[in-house]
Amino acid sequence: MEDCDLLFKIVLIGNAGVGKTCLVRRFTQGLFPPGQGATIGVDFMIKTVEVDGTKIKLQIWDTAGQERFRSITQSYYRSAHALVLTYDVSSEETFACLPAWLREMEQHASAHVPRVLVGNKLDLADVRQVTREQAEAFARLHGLRYLETSAKEAENVERLFVELARRLALDARQPALGDAPGPPRSHSCGPGGLPGDGKPVSYFTSCCNL
Ligand SMILES: Nc1nc2c(ncn2[C@@H]2O[C@H](COP(=O)(O)OP(=O)(O)OP(=O)(O)O)[C@@H](O)[C@H]2O)c(=O)[nH]1
């Protein structure tokens, strides 16, 4: 069993088909899955990274983008230490849905957790529909950090999760501010580890044909 110093939950949200599962699989397994099926409910995968001498276990929750799973996926936002809101740079429609996703986050997640906006499918430059400037302006307006990734080409995927881990570790070292409402506290890694350590854990069934 892997040992670690800190554990954080990161939840990925965004429209169906933007590449959330592929981002998680690229980061945790180093692959781009062929014929990735839609997520049913939620899945999570775990990866431990070492950042500035600290071993950080990331429990990464991949939520279904389809509307019919919304009541299930919403229940996972509350305990998240960070949220990754993903859209597809080759789909204007997925970008147009971001305000609705922000409302979801406001309603169901802690207000104080880091939020990152990710424009995925950066490799589809020829059919890009959302410019970097548009996305950066949106991110600035809503206080989000912005990053463009390609799960397919493994571009910026490691950076996305490692930078989040670094930020979460730094925040975890700050003393808690009395009784003020704050983000969920990080978990320390006990000897029991987590269910599904090192393996994908499927909550509800998944139709991934892999
Ligand atoms: N070109 C390209 N295609 C991608 C990339 N990431 C994902 N895809 C493709 O986009 C499709 C959807 O990917 P998923 O990872 O299943 O998307 P998702 O957001 O998890 O979808 P739901 O589970 O339905 O919410 C698949 O056909 C992937 O092969 C990428 O970086 N570049």
User: What number does the ligand 1 atom closest to the CA of 149 have?
Assistant: 31
Give the model's pLDDT for residue 173.
Answer: 84
Q: Which atom belonging to ligand 1 lies closest to the Cα atom of 124?
A: 1
Q: What is the pLDDT of residue 189?
A: 67
The CA distance from 203 to 206, in Å, is 8
Q: Tell me the pLDDT tens digit for each residue of 101-153.
A: 999 999 999 988 999 999 999 999 999 999 999 999 999 999 999 999 999 99
- For residues 185-202, give the mean pLDDT: 46
User: Nearest CA to 57 among 155, 151, 197?
Assistant: 197
More reliable by pLDDT, 181 or 148 = 148
How much distance in Å is there from the Cα of 20 to the middle of ligand 1? 6
Q: Look at strands 54-63 and 6-14 and give their pairing.
A: parallel
**Of the candidates 201, 202, 187, which has an alpha carbon nearest to the alpha carbon of residue 58?**
187
* Residue 71 vs residue 207, higher pLDDT: 71
Instruction: For residue 36, give the ligand 1 atom closest to its CA.
Output: 16
Position 209 pLDDT exceeds 50: no
Question: Tokens standing for 174?
Answer: 């700050």
Token pair in block for residue 30: 């180093």
The pLDDT value recorded for residue 81 is 96
Model confidence pLDDT, tens digit, residues 15-51: 999 999 999 999 999 999 988 789 998 899 999 999 9
Q: What is the pTM of this model?
A: 0.87
Ligand 1 mean position, distance from CA 192 (Å): 33
**pLDDT attached to residue 187:** 60
Closest C-alpha among 76, 148, 159, 82 to residue 115: 82
